[in-house]
Amino acid sequence: MREHVEVTLSDNKYVLAGYDGVTVQIHLQKKEKQQSVFMICGTDPNVGATSTALHIAAGLAKTAQSVLLLDADMRKAPQKKMIGKECENTLAKYLMGQSTLEAIQYETNIPNLTFVPAGFSLVPVQLLCTKKLESFIKDLRGQYDFIIINVSAAGASADSETLLGLVDQIVMVAAPGRSYKKQVIALQRLYQQYQVPLLGVLVNRVDRYAYREYYKHSDYYMGERKKVGIWRRFVEKIRPTQAIAVGAPMQLANTDNKEETEIEKKNEKDIELKKKK
């Protein structure tokens, strides 16, 4: 019998509605393209990638589909953020031959959701590059409808790059004030190089007034309308072709590299003109 752990989700309707938009997009990828393994990767630490992975996995599980939430961030053991405690059997121990496949899969308080904690390692890249992890994901593809993988931030380590050949699509998580346009574009180009599609960029840590502003044409969660300068400036920097589901998170469609290059040049000229004035 598997061990049981408790996961805690947000009860904020703005946050949950935002994650719902991403959950729907992932669900459609499974339905239309039979893709089931998704990596959730932050541009930098503390942008909310761990929380995003948890809420997306929980959202998919609530549709009565089996979901494995795989925590592969062995640098800071963020499973405490997900379940509030350390687990004895972890992915790190399994890859080192110190635990079994069955032992590292924990049942949760959410039906259909299974959790694999990362554990801690001083050499996470070496462990993630092993054939044992490749076999692990390959075997579990047939057991679960979805596998959601949480990894350490791309801007802090090379861990996410080790998984590029094992996942179907990537959801990048960014945040105003922590993520930058050039960084997002550089990561997108990296994923294109390895032919791993980027499902989209999810902008996290957006305040509730930004959510109201986004949905003003639909009258969702509307109260008094207020201007949101920070949110607008960040969105203008990334220049999305489409925005879906704002709240605590907001998913943005992929950017066009050629268009971004032209925008970068224009922005740099505007900054130079302001400095001269």
Question: Nearest to residue 196, comparing CAs of 172, 164, 173, 174?
Answer: 164
Mean pLDDT of 189-209: 81
pLDDT at 238: 41
What are the C-alpha distances in Å from 123 to residues 32, 44, 170, 246? 37, 20, 23, 37
- What is the per-residue pLDDT across 109-155, written as a single tens digit (0 to 9) for each? 999 999 999 998 889 999 999 999 999 999 999 899 999 999 999 98
Query: Binning pLDDT at 50, 70 and 90, where does residue 161 land?
Result: very high
List the domains of the chain with CATH numbers. 4-276 (3.40.50.300)
User: For residues 127 and 92, is the Cβ–Cβ distance under 8 A?
Assistant: yes
Return mean pLDDT, the chain.
Answer: 78
Query: Which residue, 92, 33, 67, 71, is CA-closest to 143?
Result: 67
The pLDDT score that the predictor gives to residue 155 is: 82
How confident is the model over 191-196, as a mean pLDDT?
88
79 touches 86 (CB < 8 A): yes
In this prediction, residue 233 carries a pLDDT of: 47
- Region of poorest pLDDT, from 41-45, 85-89, 209-213, 258-262: 258-262
Q: Could you give the 3-state DSSP secondary structure of residue 256?
A: coil
pLDDT at 275 over 90: no
Q: Which two structure tokens, joined as six digits, stand for 248? A: 């605590």
* pLDDT (average), residues 224-236: 43
**pTM value?**
0.76
Provide the 8-state DSSP code for 163. G
CA gyration radius, the chain: 19
Find the mean pLDDT for residues 208-232: 46
User: What number is the average pLDDT over the span 54-75?
Assistant: 94
Q: Is the pLDDT of residue 244 over 50?
A: no
**Cα angle for residues 169, 174, 179 (degrees, 5° grid):** 130
Residue 237 has pLDDT above 70, yes or no: no
pLDDT of the residue at 248: 38
